[in-house]
Amino acid sequence: MTSQAITEQENINLAAEIIQQGKHAIVLSGAGISTPSGIPDFRSEDDGLWHHHDPWEVASLISFRHSPEGFYNWFQPMAERITQAEPNAAHITLAKLESSGSIKAIITQNIDGLHQKAGSKRVHEVHGTVSTLTCVSCYVTYNVNEFLESYVRDGEIPHCRDCGHVLKPDAILLGEQLPVKTFQKAEAHARKADVILVVGSSLEVMPVAGLPMRSLENGASLIIINNAATYLDERADAVLRTDVAEVLPAILESVANV
């Protein structure tokens, strides 16, 4: 066994021990937990969603107001991927840890709903969701399934059945305020947490990336599982730069043996 493998296993065991001993362990998940399910992230150099598009031109609140067609044309391939995606082993593992009481809440930057699809119940979607749409004029909210097939198949842009105006996905666009009540709940969990597990997030997007600091300020333990470095790696008790879909099941197995 190489020294790298030993170090990784030691970190897995340490992460499991920390989670097992925690009284209010929480998770902050980012795009990296969903890439194994076939959903691309936004910032990777190879296939990130921003690699070929200016985000302010296709995914900002201002651009949506001026040209919702531009947003929907850009988002159509992503919507198809989200529709076809299934939870991977990382989502399923977190759902099991929640079910067992080891994890009290999941704060996610993702809009794909895969945590809920895996069985997690206490999920706070701080960047919104694509599971619902809201009319920009009369503010009626619809379930996305009412419009999804015609949009994914034909590119048909959803419009309100009451007033005829365009519907906006309830995902947060650039320049748009985060859902206040959801973020307040996330902050409350972050302050209460004695363990925070960062999964698949490079911690680059504020204010969500600042949540682990709320936990650290109160003496919490920090575990980071992410392929790239984060600004908090030096503050973490355990850092695992590996595939989340492989290492989280290993942590679950180790938790069971603690």
Provide the annotated active-site residues: 127
Task: Please say whether the dihedral angle defined by the alpha carbons of residues 117, 123, 125 and 129, taken in this order, is positive or negative.
Answer: positive
Sign of CA dihedral 155, 161, 165, 167: negative
Q: For residues 195 and 18, is the Cβ–Cβ distance under 8 A?
A: yes
Contacts of 104 (CB under 8 A, 6+ apart): 24, 25, 26, 98, 122, 189, 193
CB 141 within 8 A of CB 132: yes
DSSP 8-state symbol, 75 = H
